Amino acid sequence: MPRPLSQNQKLIRRILRVNHAGEHGAVSIYSAQLKRLPVGGNDLEVWLKETMSHEKEHRLAFREAMSPRFAKPCRALSVWSVGGWLLGSITSMWGRTGILACTAAVERTVHAHLEEQIAFLRHHDSELATLVERIQFQEISHLSYAEEGLGPESGLAASLRILISCATEVLIALSTRGDSIRLRYRLRAAIE
């Protein structure tokens, strides 16, 4: 009979499930944005392709980290696919500003989650903490590029940022059936 999982093991599995699903959604966002972007010689096209390749690498890294920890992918990956595709499609209608505001909002939201995860994982799974830190480094570069490209935030960018941040949090909560909210509280409690 298998031993019951510890609270920490459950948290680690949830972290992997949420992170893998988030990267899956990010790939959908960038795919939709690239599809709607005018082709040819655009620096934004080059950046989107590179960023999407990072997100695919991150998704694969989290997927590979699942097996040794007996974690399974989120059952609602289709929610991430559809939600990401819609978000990417809608924000691309506002061109460069919409695309960069989307990236800035999503990455800022993700950054807060990753910080909490890293603080917990340093004490409970140092190998996974190192992986999340490596991925976070690239995510911060995506955020920096987006914020620099936006420059001083316009009314449109500010509105999009708020809406997208809220949508990202809702998508995370819905697709994890509230697990992300409980995870956040459990991580904070485990760190303290």
Query: Considering the entire predicted model, what is its pTM?
Result: 0.87
CA distances from 171 to 36, 79, 128 (A): 23, 8, 24
Q: What would the pLDDT profile of 176-191 be if each residue is shown by its tens digit?
A: 666 666 666 766 676 6
Contact 73, 21 (CB under 8 A): yes
- The pLDDT > 70 percentage for the chain reads 86
55-66 burial code (b ≥16 CB/10 A, e <16): bbebbebbbebb
Rounded Cα distance, 155 and 140, in Å = 23
Q: Give the pLDDT mean for 147-154.
A: 80
Residue 74 has pLDDT above 90, yes or no: no
Q: What would the pLDDT profile of 3-48 be if each residue is shown by its tens digit?
A: 677 878 888 998 899 899 999 999 999 999 999 987 665 889 999 9
Query: Could you tell me the residue ranges of all domains in the chain?
Result: 7-191
Rounded Cα distance, 91 and 88, in Å = 5
Architecture category of domain 7-191 in CATH = Up-down Bundle (1.20)
